[in-house]
Amino acid sequence: MIEFDDKMALVAWADVEGAGPRTLARLRARLGGLAQAWYASAPVLVSQGGLTPERANALVRARDARDPVRLWQRHLASGLDLVLDTDARFPDLLRHIPVPPLALWTAGDLGHQERAIAIVGTRRPTPYGCRVAARLAGELASRGVVVVSGLALGIDAEVHAAALARGRTWAVLGSALDRIHPVSHRELARRIVRSGGCLISEYPPGTGAAPWRFPARNRLVAGLCRGTVVVEAPERSGALLTAAHALEQDREVLGVPGPVDSTASAGVHRLLRDGARLVRDVHDVLLEFGWEDSPQGLEKALEGDQAAIWAALGPGARPVDMLPALTGLSAARVQAALTHLLLAGRVAMGAEGWHRLA
């Protein structure tokens, strides 16, 4: 027989419309647990739980229409991890935001929480915004910083792709992890997990994307991090909502300036005018939080031909025609490995040949 504990109850409550984190936290505190709240009558939810009669009756009707065993089996079949706020793995920074989630569904590694920075921006970036966001994300990741964003189109996607190539990135979704949104980012989501990163959601399996879920998602993006960096955001932008959440959570807000006449950077310029810290490069971010400025992730995940090429390049530049002799690889395999390293932001070609990027 399945024991109906708080974890199982949380899965069931998460499927009940109107049972948000604030309500569930109150019921858990007043009734002794989420499992007890699940079986409480409407009068008890009113007298002990502090709900209005209308709210209590609505929750009971919605609750009684659901089968907690079936919902638990759906959770198990998803293969996702469920981390309650009572679990030691639950990110400590999230415990201290105004409306913390009671649990997170995750896929991947939720470790390395000590140094995390959010980078967010517009869904319609300029080439300048894409370039700056990718460079900043990659350089932070290479120094052991977890780069957090929302898996959206535009700046978010640039940030995740650059960070996973050189370190770790977390993507916080406004849908369930089995309902990746946008659909075009399913492969990017898989790459994040394969690279040692993590997908995170407060929504149970089967929950689709909806407009009202993204502002709630934004509070988690900010809440997981010591600070939020905004790269390109017009005056009306979801990235500015993330920055507002960061300020509400007493976290730092930083901004990357753009051209003075760029509408894509108008929101960032307002943040900077109002006191956000200016970011020009990775050193500004590391200095703001007192973090050591030394690459930690450059050797991450190098295997086979790529590892051989990396070792052969050494500290200086090498002409490409020297690499087959130095590595024992064919010219075709050398070229393929160099292409992968180039796309990962680990090598570049200069006047004297190929060289490592630090």
Q: What is the mean pLDDT of each run of 10 residues along the chain (358 residues)?
A: 83 89 93 94 94 94 92 90 92 93 93 90 95 94 94 95 92 94 94 93 89 90 97 92 96 95 95 95 93 61 74 74 83 86 78 74
Which pLDDT score is estimated for 165?
87
Distance separating alpha carbons of residues 103 and 124, to the nearest angstrom = 32
Distance separating alpha carbons of residues 358 and 347, to the nearest angstrom = 9
Cα 335 to Cα 77, 101, 166, 347: the distances in Å are 42, 47, 20, 12
Alpha helices in 17-104 (DSSP H): 21-31, 34-39, 42-47, 53-64, 68-78
Distance separating alpha carbons of residues 256 and 126, to the nearest angstrom = 13
Which pLDDT score is estimated for 297?
45
Distance separating alpha carbons of residues 266 and 260, to the nearest angstrom = 8
**If you count them, how many residues does the chain have?**
358
Q: Which CATH number does the domain 106-289 belong to among 1.10.10.920, 1.10.238.10, 3.40.50.450, 3.40.30.10?
A: 3.40.50.450
304-356: which CATH architecture? Orthogonal Bundle (1.10)
Which pLDDT score is estimated for 298?
44
